[in-house]
């Protein structure tokens, strides 16, 4: 399968947001990864609806929204209206995860669940066939530019096995600390989508860096 690259806009230059969105449009990237943080679920606040609206008005690729917020059910319809194609909520933030996933789908979006580094894959056993995507956090959520947690490889393999065993149609996304050094090993372990923030936007030539990542994985 074609492995996908999703640059994380969190690491873009917000003073030149349109320029960076156009760069992703013209690059070999597949998706836009959009991190929404509320300062409660994670110890940081990123940006909210007006900024996502501005991104969506220029973005020509799939918009993958990663909610790092408590009680995400309150905003499902809002994110659908803003143009999110895929909405990912955190397992740790959802008391009634099954209900939340069904609500996301009923709003016309694809539904994903993200797992913090300490959360085992096994918690998804009874919901995996309902999920379009599982995002394995390879850093503690809240900030870009952190170091990749090596235990992630093991989790990718476990998740891949669960998906195969249950015949689920679920993409595996990796988020945090992705670079050209770990991209190949991650996709070989079963990852389908690689999110990359700092590695792309802090590089000298983000367009080429995206192409390099795409080439390494495919
Ligand atoms: C972290 C975010 C990530 C972040 C990744 O909480 O979910 O998407 O932007 O940034 P890098 O690639 O710099 O680790
Ligand atoms: Zn993210």
Active-site option among 20, 64, 85, 175: 175
pLDDT band (50, 70, 90) for residue 213: very high
Residue 103, domain CATH: 3.20.20.70
Give me the DSSP letters along 103-146.
HHHHTT-EEEEEE-TTS-GGGGTTTGGG-SEEEEESS-TT-SSP
Probe ligand 1: pick from 5, 6, 8, max atoms within 8 Å of CB?
8
Angle at 193 between CA 61 and CA 148, to 5 degrees: 125
* 1 has a pLDDT exceeding 80: no
List of residues 6+ apart from 84 with CB closer than 8 A = 34, 52, 56, 63, 64, 65, 109
Measured in degrees and rounded to the nearest 5, phi and psi for residue 89 equal: -110, 160
Pocket of ligand 1 (CB under 6 A): 8, 10-11, 33, 35, 66, 139, 141-146, 175-178, 195-199
Total of domains in the chain = 1
pLDDT band (50, 70, 90) for residue 172: very high
Q: What share of the chain is helix, strand, coil (3-state, %, to 5)?
A: 45, 20, 35
pTM of the complete model beyond 0.95 = yes
pLDDT band (50, 70, 90) for residue 151: very high
Probe ligand 1: pick from 47, 67, 93, 175, max atoms within 8 Å of CB?
175
Predicted pLDDT of residue 179: 98
CA distance 51 to 213: 27
- CB environment 134-153: b (16+ within 10 A), e (fewer): bbbbbbebbbbeeebbeebb
Instruction: Summarize pLDDT for 89-143 with one digit per residue, the tens.
Output: 999 999 999 999 999 999 999 999 999 999 999 999 999 999 999 999 999 999 9
The enclosing H or E element of 31 equals: strand 31-37
Active site residue 175: yes
Residue 122, token pair as written in the block: 């096994």
Measured in degrees and rounded to the nearest 5, phi and psi for residue 94 equal: -120, 115
| Spacing, Cα 146 to ligand 1 middle (Å) | 8
For the chain, what percent of residues have pLDDT higher than 90?
100
pLDDT band (50, 70, 90) for residue 43: very high
Q: Is the ipTM beyond the 0.95 threshold?
A: yes
Active site residue 73: no
| Spacing, Cα 127 to ligand 2 middle (Å) | 21
In terms of residue numbers, what domain contains 160? 4-217
Closest residue by CA, ligand 1 atom 12: 197
* 75 has a pLDDT exceeding 80: yes
Closest residue by CA, ligand 1 atom 4: 144
* Helices 206-217/17-26 angle, 10° precision: 40
Instruction: Summarize pLDDT for 17-28 with one digit per residue, the tens.
Output: 999 999 999 999
Active-site option among 35, 38, 132, 192: 35
């Amino acid at each position: 399968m074609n492995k996908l690259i999703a640059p994380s806009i969190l690491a873009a230059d917000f003073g030149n947001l349109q320029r960076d969105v156009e760069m992703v449009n013209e690059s070999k990237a597949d998706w836009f990864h959009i991190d929404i943080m509320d300062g409660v679920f994670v110890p940081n606040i990123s940006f909210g609806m007006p900024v996502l609206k501005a991104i969506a008005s220029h973005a020509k690729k799939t918009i993958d929204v990663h909610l790092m917020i408590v009680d995400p059910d309150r905003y499902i319809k809002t994110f659908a209206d803003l143009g999110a194609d895929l909405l990912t909520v955190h397992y740790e933030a959802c008391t009634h995860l099954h209900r939340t996933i069904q609500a996301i789908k009923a709003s016309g979006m694809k539904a994903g669940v993200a797992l913090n580094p300490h959360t085992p894959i096994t918690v998804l056993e009874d919901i995996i066939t309902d999920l379009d995507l599982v995002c394995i956090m390879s850093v503690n959520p809240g900030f870009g530019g952190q170091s990749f947690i090596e235990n992630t490889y093991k989790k990718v393999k476990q998740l891949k096995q669960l998906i195969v065993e249950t015949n689920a149609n679920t993409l595996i996304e990796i988020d945090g600390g992705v670079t050209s050094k770990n991209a190949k090993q991650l996709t070989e372990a079963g990852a389908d989508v690689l999110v990359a923030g700092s590695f792309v936007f802090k590089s000298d030539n983000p367009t080429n860096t995206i192409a390099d990542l795409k080439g390494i994985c495919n």
